[in-house]
Structure 1
Amino acid sequence: MKYFADLHIHSKYSRAVSPDMDLPHLSRGARLKGIQIMGTGDFTHPLWLKHLKEELEESECEGLYRRKSDASGVLFMLTTEVAVFHPNGGKRTHHVIHAESFDDVDALNEYYSKKGNLAADGRPMFAKTSNEELVEETKSRSPTARIVPAHVWTPWFGLFGDKSGYDSMDEAFGRHARKITALETGMSSDPAMNWRLSGLDEWALMSNSDSHSPSPLRIGRECNVFEFEEGGITFGNLFKAVEAKDAARFAFTVETDPAYGKYHYSGHRLCNFSCSPAEARRLKEICPVCKRPLVIGVENRVEELADRPVGFVPERKIPFKTLLPLQELVAAVEGGSAFSQKAQRFQQALAEKFGGEFKVLLEVSEKDLAEACGAELAKTVLLSREGKIRVKPGFDGEYGVLELPWKKEGKRRTPPVAEQGAKQKGLTDFTV
C-alpha cells in the first residue's frame, strides 16, 4: 500500500502556529488529506512531549506510534526542528530530527536542554552550536536518529540560503556530511532544481509541509510517498529506503509548484516588486522602488550554485509529482480565499466522498469529478495533476498566486468541456 508521510510540522507550542495544532486536529486533517504518517513536531518542548507520552502508544509498525484512542488511525513519528546558530556568527540553519522512540527523545533532550531553553519555543534555538556539533552529539546519543536539514534553500535558516547559508555540504558539515540522511527541498524549490547541483547527488531529497496549521490546505501540501505491504512500514525501513534512494519503496515525493513557495523569486513585499534571477542580476540585486538590497529568492540562489543546465536528470533519483492543494484550486475557480468556508466545505466533501484529498488530486477521473463538483473544478484538478497550472511566483514571504488559463483579469470563462452544452454550473450548484 502507499503511505503518504508528512514528517515536518509544528505543534501549538511553536511561535506563529495555530492553537489547533494538537493530535486530534492533526488526525482529522490527515484523514481528510489522505496522509498515513505524520511527524509529531516539537518533541523538544516539555509540555508537548508530556502530551505525546500520554496520548501515543507503540504501533504494530516499529518506531511509529498511534493515538491510544484511535488504534487504526494515522501513524506518528517523533520529530522536532531545531535552529542552530554557528559559533563564529552569521551562519544559521534549521534541521529536522527524527527519533525512533521516547527513550531516544529523552536522551536527545538531555543534550538539547544544555544548548537552549526547550520550554521557550517548540522550535528551540541553539546558540554557539555548529552543524558538526549537532550531528556528532545527536548521533552519539541516538545512533538511529535521522537528521534532515530543513527547507534548504530559503533565505533565512536554509542550509544554502542566501542570507545565512553555505555553498556546499562539506562546508556546512565537514567530516559529518555523510551522516546526513537527506535534504528537504522546501516549497520554493523542487527536486529538478536541486538536481542541477552535482554536489548534492549523494543525498536523497525529501519533501514536507512545515505546516503551522492542521488544515488540509497546509498539511501534506508537500510530502513523501512510500510503498510497503500494509503494516509493513517501520521507522528503520522507511529511512533505509530514503538513504538508498530505493524507488521501489520510496515511490515519489509530492511537490507544490516551486513558484507557489514564499521565496521563489527575488523581491520586496512592501514594495510589491518581484523579479526573475536574470532581472535581479540586471538590477544588481537592488530594489528599483526603495533602492535597498532585494530579498534574494530560491531560484536565484540555485542559479548561482548550479553546475548543470535546467532540465538535467540524474540516473539515480526519486520521482516527484507536482500538485496544488484542493482548497487553492477551489479558490482559483470560484474566487475568494483558499481558507474560505466554501473552499473548506468542498475539500471536506470531496475528500470524504473519494477517500481523501490525494485520491481526488491523483486518481479520480475527470468524469467522476465533474459529476461531483462540476466541469470547471474537475478540469482544474486535471490541469494540476498534469502540472499545467501557471503560478505567479511568490517572493519575500508571499505565496505564489494560481492563474487559470481560462480566466483573465478576474473574470470567469466557461472551460472548453462545457462550451457546447448548457450553462455551466458553479460549485455552489453542487452538494457533493
Structure 2
Amino acid sequence: MPKFIADLHIHSRFSRATSKDLDPEHLALWAQKKGIKVVGTGDFTHPGWISELQEKLIEAEQGLFRLKPDLAASIKPAIPDSCQDSPRFMLTSEISCIYKKNDKTRKVHHLILLPGFDSVLKLNRRLEQIGNIRSDGRPILGLDSRNLLEVVLETSDRAFFIPAHVWTPWFSLFGSKSGFDDIEECFEDLTPHIHALETGLSSDPPMNRLLSQLDRYLLVSNSDAHSPAKLGRESNLFETALDYDAMVKAMTDGQGFSGTIEFFPEEGKYHLDGHRKCRVRLHPEETKSRKGICPVCGKAVTVGVFHRVDDLADRDHPKISKAFFSLIPLTEILSEIHGCGPATKKVTRIYEDLINTLGPELHILMDASLEKIKQTGGVLLSKAIDRMRNNKVIRQEGYDGEFGVIRLFDDGEKDEPYQNRISSDYQGERQGDAL
C-alpha cells in the first residue's frame, strides 16, 4: 500500500480565532504544499460550514471527498508542479464538553470522524437539541463525554471518536485543570469504543508511553490548525487503501498505521508549568517545591503537560510501538537561518523556491537528500535539517499558553564568518535564477 499523510484535526473560519482563509480551496492548496493527502474538514457541526462543504466537495473514494473540478482548477496555478496532487477531505469536527462529574467541573475536547454528509446531518440534528451548534465551529455543549460518545455511536456504526489533545491543561481528558486520572472514569461502560488518543502539541509518544494504561490505545497526532499554513505541523502516516473505512480500521487495530509526525513537545505552549503574566517558567520539581504558587505574584501557576504526565506515569522508560518523527516547520528553520520572522516576505519567497524545486514541505523535512537540500537552499539549511532529523536541537520550553522555541544553531555559530558567505552565495544563486 502507498504511504500517505493525514491531518484530521483542523478548524474552519467558522471557529473563533481562526484565519478567514480557512475554506476548502485554501485547505486543498496548502495540503498540496505540505504534502498531505487527507485533511480533515473540521467544524462539520456548524451549519454554514457543512453547507459550504456540500456545495464545494464531491465524493472521491468511499468516505473521502475532493474539490469539485472547477474549484480544483482555480487553485492549480498557485501550486508548484512539484507539489500538485488531488488531496482528499474527511468529515471531522471537534466538540467541547463542559459538565460536572464526580464533584469536579470537567472540560474535555473530542474529535469526531464520520463517513458522509448524511451521518453528519443526522448527528447535527441530535446535537442541536442539546445545545448551540451555530455560534462557533467548535461548539460547547453541557454534555458528559460518555453521553456524547453514545450519541455519536447511535448516529453511525462507522463513526470514530478520539479524545483530543489529551494533556492540554484546560480542555482535555487528562488535563491538570479539569481532566480525569484514567479513561474509564471519563467514558465508563463505553470505554471499549475508544481506540485512539490525540497526543497534542505539548506531548509526544515517548511521554505518553510512560503510562501503561495507554498501551492499548493508538496515538495519533494532528495540527489543530487555525490557519492553512499550520497544516501538517503534526500529522499521521498511513499505509492503507485510500478510503474512510481503511483509515478507521488502521486507527482501531494499528495495522496500516505507520506512525506520526510530531512537534518537538517543548515547543508546545503548555509543556512546562508556569505563569505567563509574570514570565515565570517552572520545571515540575520547582513547582512542587513552591507548592504550585508563582514566586512573583503569589497566584497558582498552570501545571503543564510534562508535570501532569509525570504525575500519572508508572514507568521509568517508554514502551514505544510506532515510529514518530519530530519536525520543525520549514518557515521556522528559515526564520532562524535568515534572522527574520517566519511570515516575512523573505522567508516566504525562499520557502516557495524550495518547494518549487524539491517538492512538498514534509518531503523536504523528512525525506529529501541533504545534498539536494544543500544545492537548493545552501549549507546552513542542509545542516539545520540534518540536526533536526537527529534530534540535535536547542530547546526553550513553552508554558502557560506561551509557545516554546526550538533552535538549531547556538549564538556562537550564528557569529561565524562563513554564515554570511553562505547567505550571500544563496542570494546570488536566486538572483541568477531570476534572470
Alignment TM class, shorter chain as reference: over 0.9
- 1:163 and 2:177 correspond: yes
RMSD: 1.7
CA distance in 2, matches of 1:386, 1:277: 27
Unaligned runs of 5+ in 1: none
Partner of 2:78: none
Name which of 142, 154, 168 aligns with 1:140. 154
One-letter amino acid of the structure 1 residue matched with residue 252 of structure 2: E
Aligned partner of 2:67 in structure 1 is: 67
Q: For residues 104 and 36 of structure 1, what CA distance do their matches in structure 2 show?
A: 23
Q: Which residue in the other structure is 1:22 paired with?
A: 23
Q: 1:65–1:76: 8 Å Cα contact kept in structure 2?
A: yes
Q: Say if 1:44 and 1:122, in contact at 8 Å, map to a contact too.
A: yes
Q: CA deviation at 1:181?
A: 2.9
Which AA in structure 2 matches 1:103? D
Which residue does 1:302 correspond to in 2? Answer: 309
Contact between 1:3 and 1:227, CA under 8 Å: does it hold in 2? yes
1:312 aligns to 2:318 (yes or no): yes
1:85 is aligned to 2:89: no
Match of 1:189 in 2: 203
Contact 1:406–1:414 (8 Å) recurs in 2: no
Q: Note the C-alpha offset of 1:359.
A: 1.2
- Given that 2:387 and 2:408 are in contact with CA atoms closer than 8 Å, whether structure 1 keeps it comes out as no
Aligned residue for 1:412? Answer: 414
Name the aligned partner's letter for residue 319 of structure 2.
V
Aligned to 2:376: 372
* Pair 1:226-2:238 in alignment: yes
Tell me if structure 1 keeps the 8 A contact 2:107–2:171. yes
Q: Kindly indicate whether the alpha-carbon contact (under 8 Å) linking 1:207 and 1:224 is maintained by their aligned counterparts in 2.
A: yes
Tell me the distance in 1 between the aligned counterparts of 2:416 and 2:7.
36
Structure 2 alignment gaps of length 5 or more: 74-84
Shift of 1:87: 4.0
Write the distance in 2 (CA, Å) between the matches of 1:428 and 1:266: 42
Partner Cα separation in structure 1 for residue 282 and residue 429 of structure 2: 40
CA–CA separation in structure 1 for the residues paired with 2:128 and 2:166? 25
**What's 1:95 paired with?**
110
Give yes or no for contact 1:187–1:261 (8 Å, CA) kept in 2.
yes
Q: How does 1:28-427 map to 2 (within 5 A)?
A: 28-59=29-60, 61-69=61-69, 70=72, 73-88=86-101, 90-127=105-142, 129-215=143-229, 218-228=230-240, 232-246=241-255, 249-309=256-316, 311-314=317-320, 317-408=321-412, 412-414=414-416, 423-426=421-424
- Alpha-carbon distance, 1:350 to partner: 1.1
Greater mean alpha carbon deviation, residues 176-185 or residues 337-346:
337-346
What is the distance in 2 between the residues matched to 1:414 and 1:117?
58
Deviations 1:326-377 (A, max 9, x none): 0111111122222222222222221221120011101112221111111111
Q: 1:387 to 1:430 in 2, by over 3 A?
A: farther
Cα distance in 2 for partners of 1:373, 1:175 equals: 54
Cα distance in 2 between the residues matched to 1:293 and 1:195:
28
TM-score normalised per structure 2 = 0.92
| Contact in 2 for aligned 1:254/1:320 (Cα 8 Å) | yes
Q: Distance in 2 between matches of 1:390 and 1:239?
A: 36
Whether the aligned pair in 1 keeps the contact of 2:392 and 2:408 (CA below 8 Å) is no
C-alpha distance in structure 2 between counterparts of 1:367 and 1:3, whole Å: 24
Give the partner amino acid of 2:197.
Answer: L
Distance in 2 (alpha carbons) for counterparts of 1:142 and 1:126: 20
Q: Which amino acid aligns with 1:396?
A: D
Q: Please say if residues 188 and 263 of structure 1, whose CA atoms lie closer than 8 Å, have aligned partners that are also in contact.
A: yes
The separation in 1 between residues aligned to 2:192 and 2:8, in whole angstroms, is 21
Contact conserved, 1:329 with 1:380, CA < 8 A, in 2? yes
- Report the Cα distance in structure 1 between the residues aligned to 2:100 and 2:276, rounded to whole angstroms: 31
Indicate the structure with greater helix content.
Answer: 2
Q: Deviations over 1:2-47 (max 9, x none)?
A: 2110000000000000000011111111111111100000000001
Alpha-carbon distance in 2 for matches of 1:292, 1:305 = 24
Contact 1:10 1:17 in 2 (8 A): yes
SS in 2 for 1:424: helix
> Alpha-carbon deviation of 1:428?
4.0
Counterpart position of 1:12:
13
CA distance in 1, matches of 2:68, 2:140: 31
Cα shift at 1:131: 1.1
* CA distance, structure 1, for counterparts of residue 97 and residue 7 of structure 2: 22
> Aligned to 1:92, what secondary structure does the other structure show?
strand
**For residues 115-149 of structure 1, what are the alpha-carbon distances to aligned partners after superposition, in whole Å with 9 as ceiling and x for unaligned?**
2211100000111x111101111101111111101
| SS of residue paired to 1:239 | helix
| CA positional deviation for 1:402 | 2.2
Contact kept? 1:10, 1:40, Cα under 8 Å: yes
Rounded Cα–Cα distance in structure 2 between residues aligned with 1:298 and 1:399: 13
C-alpha contact 2:394 2:410 (8 A) present in aligned 1: no
